[in-house]
Amino acid sequence: MNNTELYYEVRGSGPLVVLVGAPMGADSFAPLAELLADGYSVLTTDPRGINRSKFTDGGTSTPEQRADDLAWLIREVDRGPAVAFGSSGGAVSVLALAQNHPDTVHKVIAHEPPLDRLVPDGDELLAKSEKLMADYLNGDPVGAWEQFFALANIQLPPGMAQAMFGGDRDPQQLADERFWFEHEMRESISWQPDIAKLTKVVVGIGEDSKGQLCDRTSTALADLLGIEPTRFPGGHTGFADDPKAFEPALRRQLVEIDFHPGA
d(CA 6, CA 138): 29
pLDDT of residue 258 exceeding 50: yes
**Is residue 106 located within the same domain as residue 223?**
yes
Per-residue pLDDT at 207: 97
Average pLDDT in the chain: 93
**Is residue 102 located within the same domain as residue 202?**
yes
**Is residue 27 located within the same domain as residue 66?**
yes
**Which ranges in the chain belong to alpha helices (H)?**
26-36, 63-77, 89-100, 122-137, 141-152, 160-165, 171-179, 185-189, 213-225, 238-241, 243-255
Based on the structure, what is the number of domains in the chain? Answer: 2
Model confidence, pTM: 0.94
Angle between helices 122-137 and 141-152 (to 10 degrees): 160
Domain with 16, as residue range(s), is: 4-119+190-255
> 186, 216, 239 — which closes off a domain?
186
22-60 pLDDT, tens per residue? 999 999 999 999 999 999 999 999 999 999 988 765 678
Per-residue pLDDT at 257: 78
**Is residue 111 located within the same domain as residue 207?**
yes
103-136 pLDDT, tens per residue? 999 999 999 999 999 999 999 999 999 999 999 9
